[in-house]
Amino acid sequence: MALRLHDVVEINEVLPEEKLPAGAVGTIVHVYRRHDRAYEVEFADENGRMVSSVALTADKLSEIPT
């Protein structure tokens, strides 16, 4: 999966420490280009306020087509 900056994604599993359910939708705001590529994903509430920003690997994400 080739994710890019500003792609809209959803998480595949619950992240209880961040209070995010599986299926939570977020936007990639940074791509870490190390050997184990990771993505900083920002999650917002229904009012557009950021509620969490988490670094995740591609195996924990699914791209949402736009």
Per-residue pLDDT tens digits for 12-62: 999 999 999 999 999 999 999 877 789 999 999 999 999 999 999 999 999
66 close to 28: Cβ distance less than 8 angstroms: no
What's the confidence (pLDDT) of residue 29? Answer: 97
27 close to 20: Cβ distance less than 8 angstroms: no
What's the confidence (pLDDT) of residue 33? Answer: 86
> What's the maximum distance between 2 C-alpha atoms anywhere in the chain?
36
What's the confidence (pLDDT) of residue 7? Answer: 96
What's the confidence (pLDDT) of residue 56? Answer: 96
> Two tokens at 40?
């900083």
